[in-house]
Amino acid sequence: MQALFAIACRIWEHLKQARKRGETRLVLERRREKEKKQRRKTILRAARRLFFKQGNRPVTISDIAKKAELSKGAIYLYFSSKEEICAQILLDDIGRVHNEVLPIFDGKSRASEVLMGFAHLYEDFFLKDRELFRLLMNFMMHADNLNLSEDTNQRIIQETNKAISVTESIFQYGIDKGEFLLRRGDVKVMRNAFWGMLNGVIALHLFIGKEETRKERIHSNVDGCLETFIEGLKKPAVV
């Protein structure tokens, strides 16, 4: 009986030790994962600061590594290229734009007011970080030449489409409320016209002209274009 008891005690002790080792491994794995996420954030934060100060083009992986106080090799453990770093910054911020836009579309204001509010939020977002707008336009115009992974490419498209879909909802809301006299098939056409106007005005003024008047120039030009645009939306479609 004593022998059996001793064996049972040894088995129990072995199980306790095994459990302890398993818990230790889990803690270490969680710590490593947390450290990876933190280091990834450090790299993105360093890259963003350099892009904001110098622009995207002249910045190299070596510059980002130095700013992040990491080795160049460490950067490549997390990102395959500078383009992938740019893409991740773009992904993070496009998602933020979408989240900030949603409260504007509350279902209470007129569609024209929501559309104007959306435009102002979009303008101000890029006025705070001009280089982000350059990254977005670069992706839109040269996506095939950026050598991004298929997963990253698809994620950017999906996040961009989320923001674009909000404008479709605004146009549809205006139609449903009788404010915009559009045919339902015209929603996508108006969406494209709206985005073309908005990005065109921002691109025209964001990198040229006096810094102190930039915000006013962009706002006044967008407001003027949108007022004319909205007036057209309120007129019956010509068949």
Please report the domains of the chain, with CATH numbers, ordered by start residue: 2-76 (1.10.10.60), 82-233 (1.10.357.10)
- Separation CA 138–CA 55 (nearest Å): 13
Residues 6+ apart with CB under 8 A from 160: 94, 136
Q: How many CB atoms lie within 10 A of CB 47?
A: 25
Residues 6 or more apart whose CB falls under 8 angstroms from that of 114 comprise: 104, 105, 106, 170, 173
> Can you give the pLDDT at residue 221?
92
User: Which amino acid belongs to residue 29?
Assistant: E
At 209, phi and psi to the nearest 5? Answer: 85, 180
The reported pLDDT for the residue numbered 222 is 92
Other beta carbons within 10 Å of 179: 16
The pLDDT assigned to 220 comes to: 93
Residue 114 in contact with residue 173, Cβ under 8 Å? Answer: yes
pLDDT 10s per residue in the chain (239 long)? 556 556 656 665 665 665 666 656 665 567 777 778 888 899 998 998 888 788 778 889 999 999 989 888 888 988 888 888 888 888 887 777 777 777 776 667 899 998 998 899 888 888 888 888 887 887 777 766 667 778 888 888 888 888 788 888 889 888 888 899 887 778 888 989 999 999 999 988 888 888 889 889 999 999 999 999 999 888 776 55
Output the pTM of the full model: 0.73
What are the DSSP calls for 110-177, one per residue? -HHHHHHHHHHHHHHHHHH-HHHHHHHHHHHHHGGGS---HHHHHHHHHHHHHHHHHHHHHHHHHHHT
